[in-house]
Copies of this chain bind each other. A is one copy, B any other.
Amino acid sequence: IVISTRVRLARNVRGFAFLSRAEAETRRDIADTVSAAVRRAPLLRDFVHIDVEQLDELDRALLVERHLISRQHAEGAGARRLAFDPTEAAAIMINEEDHLRIQVMRSGLQVEEAWRQIDAIDDALEEHLDYEFHPQFGYLTACPTNVGTGIRVSVMLHLPALRLTNELEKVGQAARDMKLAVRGLHGEGTEALGDFFQVSNQITLGRSEVELIDDFRTSVIPRIVEYELAAREALLRTRPLALDDKIWRAVGALRSARLMSSNEAMQYLSHVRMGLHTGRLSVVDLQTLNELFLQIQPAHLQKLHGERLSGEQRSIERAAFIRTRLSSN
> Which residues of chain A have a CB within 8 Å of any CB of chain B?
241-242, 244-245, 248-249, 251-253, 255-259, 316, 319, 328
Interface centre among A251, A256, A259 (most CB of B within 10 A): A256
Number of identical monomers bound together in the oligomeric complex: 2
B259 touches A242 (CB 8 A): yes
Residues of B within 8 A of A242 (CB): 258-259
C-alpha spacing A248/B87, complex, angstroms: 39
Q: List 8 tightest A-B contacts by C-beta distance, closest first.
A: A252-B256, A252-B252, A245-B258, A248-B256, A244-B258, A245-B259, A241-B258, A249-B256
Interface centre among A248, A253, A255 (most CB of B within 10 A): A248
Q: Label chain A's interface by main secondary structure.
A: helix
Residues of B within 8 A of A248 (CB): 256-258
C-alpha spacing A108/B252, complex, angstroms: 33
What are 14 contact pairs spanning A and B, CB under 8 A?
A: A241-B258, A241-B259, A241-B316, A244-B258, A245-B257, A245-B259, A245-B319, A248-B257, A249-B253, A249-B258, A251-B256, A252-B252, A252-B255, A253-B253
C-alpha spacing A215/B132, complex, angstroms: 88
Residues of B within 8 A of A253 (CB): 249, 252-253, 256
Residues of B within 8 A of A257 (CB): 245, 248-249, 252
C-alpha spacing A242/B252, complex, angstroms: 17
Residues of B within 8 A of A259 (CB): 241-242, 245
With both chains docked as a complex, state the minimum distance between the C-beta of A22 and any C-beta of chain B, in angstroms: 49
